[in-house]
């Protein structure tokens, strides 16, 4: 079996004291930021990016990946205990998880979310190992038109994630693409939107945009809402699941894993989409949907498994096609390029130790996370007692130092101020920044592939439908768009967000 040999190579690469240490470090950090609201994997990975320059490539990637999937574990803790999502992907866990905690079943909710996540993480890892080689073969058939269609699909999928108005989310995509085009045009060397500023000729940095829109904008908006956060956490009694709990939830774990894995692979998908979809599935097929919102264990098991499965499988597009599926993956791509690795199908063939090592590390990391999260849960809850007035200066400080140390550039810190203001305005105007940031990352890639495709077809856009793979992807994108605009589905989507 190829896959076993490959996993063996990976195991050999990971089982060194340093790599295990970095894996643990990533998982611990991920759990911590998952527990703390207001600071997410995006900011943390951006912050640690400069620190990984001096590490060997495998250790760097292991740690950064650990932060991402670790955050999925930590995020559920606050959702269940405080009705406060520590991570955007655990928003749905609040609905039934918090109700379970109020009924004195916090322990069961925490256990099922950790065990469900672990199961999903294992499946996700196996899926990457099994699918990546297949997909790399498919990827070899990909050329410019397919890449363009795939990215278009990803952008449309990201609209599904956005709260509120579809039109606004689409407008945010166009704005993101436009921001992505700032800098020197690769084909002609023309300076675009640089206003004669030399720092802009390489384009707007990803980190200032991400930190500004997500961290700084968020902090300002949080300070506007002066309502006190409650620190009355429910008591955790008994982490064991009863036979009934187990019976009710194992199918939900399986379904959540399936839904999450599938949605994670799609560009534009990822953990958030996975958890929302899994919740909808559970509610839809339940014999008694009215139990949902009142502490149904399936409502915790499904989404929690889904977000972790999706967090794992969202590595697939990056590792096989070189396309980041979400902003966190875009940062991972940045980390790989800094290490001199071009993400894409070639990684698996040329650097098997790195590729398989990363995959095996995810499995080991998931194992560590169950231990970090279940017996040690009390420690993490303790962190929640830090008041926000002490936390936000820390968050901002880390943003500043993270942005600055990436290139030792004060210009990028100034850009962060600008994007922070913009981020706050967007929040106030009900415009979700997630589609913008994905479009911003994909912008230059998409322009390049679009131009190449049009050159291939001599300017005839029919090439996108003539090529079978591209046509299928575009058809899927179109179906998604129609589904989004249909009034009935729109209403349901709003319902889910309102809950």
Partner 1 sequence: MIRVKSVQDFLAGLLFVAFGVIGAWIAQNYPFGTAVRMGPGYLPVVLSWCMIVLGALIMGRSLVIEGPGFGALKLRPLVFVLGCVLVYALTIEKLGLVISTFLTTVICAYADTEMRWVETILLGVALSVFCVVTFVYGLSLPLSIWPD
Site for partner 1 in 194-223 (CB under 8 A): 216, 219-220, 223
Taken in order 337, 339, 341, 347, the sign of the CA dihedral is negative
Site for partner 1 in 369-388 (CB under 8 A): 388
**Rounded to whole angstroms, how far apart are CA atoms 87 and 108?**
20
Minimum distance from residue 196 beta carbon to partner 1 (Å): 12
The answer to whether residue 414 forms part of the interface with partner 1 (CB under 8 A) is yes
Quick one: 383 or 388, whose CB is closer to partner 1?
388
| 3-state SS, one letter per residue, for 452-473 | HHHHHCCCCCCHHHHCHHHHHH
The answer to whether residue 466 forms part of the interface with partner 1 (CB under 8 A) is no
Token duo for residue 155: 């952008």
Does residue 277 come out as left (phi exceeding 0), alpha (psi in the -120 to 50 range) or beta? Answer: alpha
Tell me which of 163, 192, 251, 351 binds partner 1, using CB under 8 A: 192
**Rounded to whole angstroms, how far apart are CA atoms 443 and 177?**
5
Asked if residues 187 and 394 have their Cβ atoms less than 8 Å apart, the reply is no
The number of residues that bind partner 1 (CB under 8 A) is: 60
Asked if residues 288 and 255 have their Cβ atoms less than 8 Å apart, the reply is no
Asked if residues 267 and 154 have their Cβ atoms less than 8 Å apart, the reply is yes
Token duo for residue 231: 């620190």
Taken in order 365, 126, 4, 9, the sign of the CA dihedral is negative
The answer to whether residue 342 forms part of the interface with partner 1 (CB under 8 A) is no
Minimum distance from residue 481 beta carbon to partner 1 (Å): 14
Minimum distance from residue 16 beta carbon to partner 1 (Å): 20
Q: Which residues contact 407 (CB under 8 A, 6 or more apart)?
A: 205
Asked if residues 180 and 499 have their Cβ atoms less than 8 Å apart, the reply is no
Angle at 437 between CA 431 and CA 443, to 5 degrees: 120
**Rounded to whole angstroms, how far apart are CA atoms 19 and 21?**
5
Site for partner 1 in 144-173 (CB under 8 A): 165, 167-168, 170-171
Quick one: 375 or 461, whose CB is closer to partner 1?
461
Tell me which of 54, 227, 230, 290 binds partner 1, using CB under 8 A: 54
Q: What DSSP letter does each residue of 182-215 carry, written as one string? A: -EE-TTT--EES-TT-GGGGG---HHHHHIIIII
The answer to whether residue 405 forms part of the interface with partner 1 (CB under 8 A) is yes
- Burial bucket for residue 356 (CB in 10 Å: 0-12, 13-18, 19+): buried
The answer to whether residue 339 forms part of the interface with partner 1 (CB under 8 A) is no
The answer to whether residue 496 forms part of the interface with partner 1 (CB under 8 A) is no
Residues shown for the chain: 499
Residue 73: count other Cβ atoms within 10 Å of its Cβ: 33
The piece of 132-140, 330-338, 345-353, 406-414 that touches partner 1 (CB under 8 A) is: 406-414
Minimum distance from residue 447 beta carbon to partner 1 (Å): 5
The answer to whether residue 488 forms part of the interface with partner 1 (CB under 8 A) is no
Minimum distance from residue 399 beta carbon to partner 1 (Å): 7
Tell me which of 24, 62, 177, 253 binds partner 1, using CB under 8 A: 177
Quick one: 134 or 386, whose CB is closer to partner 1?
386
Q: How far is CA 199 from the centre of its chain?
A: 29
Site for partner 1 in 60-99 (CB under 8 A): none
Residue 244: count other Cβ atoms within 10 Å of its Cβ: 10
The piece of 74-82, 184-192, 338-346, 465-473 that touches partner 1 (CB under 8 A) is: 184-192
Asked if residues 22 and 59 have their Cβ atoms less than 8 Å apart, the reply is yes
The answer to whether residue 393 forms part of the interface with partner 1 (CB under 8 A) is yes
Token duo for residue 323: 């396309």
Quick one: 95 or 431, whose CB is closer to partner 1?
431
The answer to whether residue 445 forms part of the interface with partner 1 (CB under 8 A) is no
Tell me which of 1, 4, 429, 488 binds partner 1, using CB under 8 A: 429
The answer to whether residue 59 forms part of the interface with partner 1 (CB under 8 A) is no
**Rounded to whole angstroms, how far apart are CA atoms 311 and 73?**
11
Site for partner 1 in 248-267 (CB under 8 A): none
The answer to whether residue 392 forms part of the interface with partner 1 (CB under 8 A) is yes
Quick one: 83 or 407, whose CB is closer to partner 1?
407
The piece of 59-67, 190-198, 277-285, 328-336 that touches partner 1 (CB under 8 A) is: 190-198
Site for partner 1 in 33-52 (CB under 8 A): 50-51
The piece of 137-145, 247-255, 307-315, 397-405 that touches partner 1 (CB under 8 A) is: 397-405
The answer to whether residue 226 forms part of the interface with partner 1 (CB under 8 A) is yes
Q: How would you label 191-202 residue by residue, b for 16+ Cβ within 10 Å and e otherwise? A: beebeeeebbee
The answer to whether residue 498 forms part of the interface with partner 1 (CB under 8 A) is no
The piece of 77-85, 333-341, 407-415, 486-494 that touches partner 1 (CB under 8 A) is: 407-415
Asked if residues 245 and 238 have their Cβ atoms less than 8 Å apart, the reply is no
Residues interacting with partner 1, by CB under 8 A? 50-51, 54, 165, 167-168, 170-171, 174-175, 177-178, 181, 185, 187-188, 190, 192-193, 216, 219-220, 223-224, 226, 388-390, 392-394, 396-397, 399-401, 404-405, 408, 410, 413-414, 416-417, 420-421, 424-425, 428-431, 447, 450-451, 454-455, 458-459, 461
């Amino acid at each position: 079996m190829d896959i076993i040999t490959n996993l063996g190579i990976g195991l050999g690469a990971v089982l060194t004291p340093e790599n295990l240490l970095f894996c643990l470090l990533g998982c611990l950090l991920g759990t911590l930021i998952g527990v703390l609201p207001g600071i997410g994997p995006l900011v943390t990975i951006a912050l640690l990016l400069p620190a990984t320059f001096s590490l060997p490539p495998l250790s760097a990637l292991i740690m950064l990946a650990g932060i991402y999937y670790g955050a999925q574990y930590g995020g559920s803790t606050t959702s269940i205990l405080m009705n406060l999502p520590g991570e955007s992907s655990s928003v749905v866990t609040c609905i039934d998880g918090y109700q379970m905690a109020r009924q004195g079943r916090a322990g069961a909710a925490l256990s099922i979310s950790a065990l469900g996540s672990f199961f999903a993480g294992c499946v996700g890892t196996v899926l990457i190992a099994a699918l990546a080689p297949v997909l790399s073969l498919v990827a070899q058939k990909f050329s410019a038109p397919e890449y363009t269609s795939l990215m278009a699909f990803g952008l449309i999928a990201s609209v599904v994630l956005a709260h509120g108005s579809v039109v606004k989310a689409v407008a945010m995509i166009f704005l993101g693409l436009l921001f992505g085009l700032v800098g020197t045009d690769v084909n002609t060397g023309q300076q675009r939107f640089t206003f004669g500023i030399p720092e802009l000729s390489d384009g707007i940095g990803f980190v200032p945009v991400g930190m500004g829109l997500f961290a700084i904008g968020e902090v300002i908006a949080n300070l506007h809402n002066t309502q006190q956060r409650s620190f009355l956490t429910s008591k955790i009694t008994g982490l064991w699941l009863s036979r009934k709990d187990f019976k009710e939830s194992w199918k939900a774990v399986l379904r959540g894993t399936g839904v999450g894995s599938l949605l994670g692979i799609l560009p534009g998908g990822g953990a958030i989409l996975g958890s929302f979809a899994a919740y909808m599935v559970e509610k839809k097929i339940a014999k008694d949907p009215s139990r949902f919102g009142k502490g149904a264990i399936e409502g915790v098991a499904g989404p929690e498994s889904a977000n972790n499965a999706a967090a794992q499988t969202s590595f697939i597009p990056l590792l096989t096609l070189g396309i980041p599926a979400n902003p966190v993956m875009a940062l991972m791509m940045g980390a790989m390029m800094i290490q001199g690795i071009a993400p894409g199908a070639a990684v698996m063939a040329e650097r098997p130790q790195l590729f398989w090592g990363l995959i095996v590390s995810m499995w080991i990391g998931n194992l560590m996370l169950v231990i970090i999260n279940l017996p040690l849960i009390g420690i993490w809850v303790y962190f929640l007692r830090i008041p926000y007035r002490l936390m936000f200066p820390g968050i901002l400080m880390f943003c500043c130092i993270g942005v600055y140390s990436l290139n030792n550039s004060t210009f990028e810190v100034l850009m962060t101020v600008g994007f922070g203001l913009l981020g706050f305005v967007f929040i106030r105007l009900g415009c979700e920044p997630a589609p913008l940031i994905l479009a911003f990352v994909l912008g230059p890639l998409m322009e390049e592939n679009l131009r190449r495709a049009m050159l291939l077809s001599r300017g005839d856009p029919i090439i996108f439908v003539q090529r079978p793979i591209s046509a299928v992807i575009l058809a899927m994108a179109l179906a998604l768009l129609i589904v989004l605009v249909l009034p009935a589905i729109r209403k349901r989507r709003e319902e889910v967000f309102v809950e």
